[in-house]
Structure 1
């Protein structure tokens, strides 16, 4: 059985998943990348492959709430530049899932996340002056968009872990807080919805797993509302530090499991 249902888990396990769903809502409207903790909780409670199928509809619920909150702040030129590379990454990730075991998947993604965090920190220290989203129109910016796009598509397909990769890209491109959240909201709504047929085709989503999702999405809403309240109380530098820290934690937990 590839999927998981509401009847396979204990009360304590459901409580852990509910907390993770609440954190998904918070990450979508406040600190993108923090849902790597949710990824870890789902993978700890459920079998790793099954966890990706259960988590995906929960993430989409969070994406819908984030789009409703930050839709006016999206930077569409950046999105159109990313989508072709992301599509290629999703296809590569689907092929990868056909043969890779859980250990290979975790190690690969953990290493990528830590690398992205290191590159972003290095760039912020050596080229802190470039902070406009329009800088991604340069040749170097286009190459960076393609590289991050493929990595983002790959990691989001194999483990729903594309958030930290795209967070690193948007930070390195100089997005401010609301532009960051608005652009990432539309990006992940479109990408996650497009992943549904792939996940269903791999046997990770079916009617039984969706029943568990139905019970969990209720907890996404209060998390999103809390994130909307909190984001206006976090300054830009602290916001960036939290995003990078969440990425590092996510990468480490995948490598050390």
Structure 2
């Protein structure tokens, strides 16, 4: 397989076909994650970072995420509500702003390691909640919990587009029914990813060549979200929760190992 010259000249692809393959798989993962299989979002982070570099991949992925967010919102429009997004919106906005300043300062390898361990810690917290048989559930309803999770989501999404697992752990702790979970998930990311656009453009990581690369990869995103939607329609509530948990754990470990 050879990459055409016109594609190399107008996009971020190089002559190496392995880069194109990794990007195509990552685009499929973006679609799968936006359908509700959120653990695959971190697989996309790793693949895109390896293909294009950590910082450049953040801007490259964002427009693809937004397209998938609109599709995910449409597919899940009958579940969830904007009211459930509101408690996390202010801290998430603050987290995006903090991440904007950190992105120019922090080493991206270190950022991925920190995010991976944070996600594992959150998964451990979820297991602790389940084992407590309701004794600790009062914590998840406290505004401080929502603010802490919103801030984590904002920072991680700006640094590495890796807030999917953070939001998954938060929503699992709220013990939402599957349809409600997917509806809130899709609404939150549609909002926060649109909010990130001017910050990414200001950093120069969204540019004409990255947008042309987005056009090439877009069919993979569409295929992923349609495939993921069909998979999730066939998974009952409990297997759904454990599928998300396992995918998120695997993705976090992969993120740490880089």
Shift of 1:12: 2.7
Counterpart-to-counterpart distance in 2, 1:145 and 1:154? 14
Give yes or no for contact 1:54–1:210 (8 Å, CA) kept in 2. Answer: yes
Match of 1:218 in 2: 219
> 4+ runs of 1 displaced by more than 4 Å?
128-131
Question: Residue in 2 aligned with 1:186?
Answer: 187
Q: TM-score, normalised by structure 2?
A: 0.90
* Residue 65 of structure 2 is aligned to residue 64 of structure 1: no
Q: 1:249 maps to what in 2?
A: 250
1:9 is displaced (CA, Å) by: 5.2
Secondary structure in structure 1 of the residue aligned to 2:180? helix
The equivalent of 2:53 in structure 1 is 47
Q: Does 1:27 align with 2:33?
A: yes
The alpha-carbon deviation at position 130 of structure 1 amounts to 9.1
Whether the 8 Å contact between 1:36 and 1:246 is mirrored in structure 2 is no
**Equivalent residue for 1:127?**
133
What is the CA RMSD across the aligned residues, in angstroms? 2.0
Question: Deviation at 1:129?
Answer: 8.8
Gaps of 5+ in 2: 1-9
Call closer, same or farther: CA 1:139–1:63 in 2, change over 3 Å: closer
CA drift at 1:6: 3.6
**Residue 79 (structure 2) pairs with residue 78 (structure 1):** no
In the TM superposition, what is the alpha-carbon distance from 1:57 to its structure 2 partner?
Answer: 1.1
User: Kindly tell me: are residues 205 and 9 of structure 1, through their superposed partners in 2, closer, same or farther at Cα, counting changes over 3 Å?
Assistant: farther
Matches of 2:133 and 2:72, distance apart in 1: 30
The match for 1:89 is: 95
Q: Which residue of 2 aligns with 1:8?
A: 14
Query: What is the total number of aligned residue pairs between the two structures?
Result: 249
* Runs of at least 5 residues in structure 1 that lack an aligned partner in the other structure: none
